[in-house]
Amino acid sequence: MCSTIPLPLPCIDRVNPKTGKSDCSSMAHLCGNGKYYLVMHEQCPQTCGRCDSNGRVIPPPPVIPGGCVDFSTKECLRLAIYCHHPIYKDLMKQQCRKSCGYCY
């Protein structure tokens, strides 16, 4: 029996079936919100900047053990725009895992 590895999806925002248009631009403020991380990753990858250089969706980060907490809730909420920035991503995973959605 052969198993297949799923190919990464094209990095496009999904369309609302009721309107025929994407709601992602109006929901972009939720991209860095930990509560909505997975749904935004799935529905609005382009708007949320979750595309690789080949135009494919970047897989979500792995779950990090040790609890879902921020070291500084106030600072993490303020700095959530850096959650997926290539330079700050590793630091944000350590310091702001709840606000950045790295624990689900």
Structure confidence by residue, pLDDT tens digits, 60-80: 766 556 667 887 778 888 888
Q: Within 13 A of 66's CA, how many CA atoms are on the CB side?
A: 12
Residues 51 and 73 in one domain: no
What stretches of 1-104 show up as alpha helix (H) in DSSP?
24-27, 37-43, 73-79, 89-95, 97-100
Q: Is residue 4 part of a domain?
A: no
Per-residue pLDDT, averaged over 23-46, amounts to 86
Specify the number of domains making up the chain.
2
- What confidence score (pLDDT) does residue 64 get? 57
Q: Does one domain contain both 14 and 51?
A: yes
The yes-or-no verdict on residue 4 having pLDDT over 60 is: no
**Between 101 and 26, the higher pLDDT residue:** 26
Q: What are phi and psi of 70, to 5 degrees?
A: -105, 145
The string of DSSP letters for 33-58 reads -GGGHHHHHHH-TTTTT-B-TTSBBP
Position 46: which residue type?
Q
pLDDT of residue 40: 87
Domain assignment of residue 44, yes or no: yes
103 and 74 in a common domain = yes
What is each CA distance from 39 to 14, 57, 71, in whole angstroms?
11, 13, 24
56 and 85, same domain (yes or no)? no
Boundaries of domain holding 70:
64-104
Asked if residue 35 and residue 19 are part of one domain, the reply reads yes
Residues 17 and 32 in one domain: yes
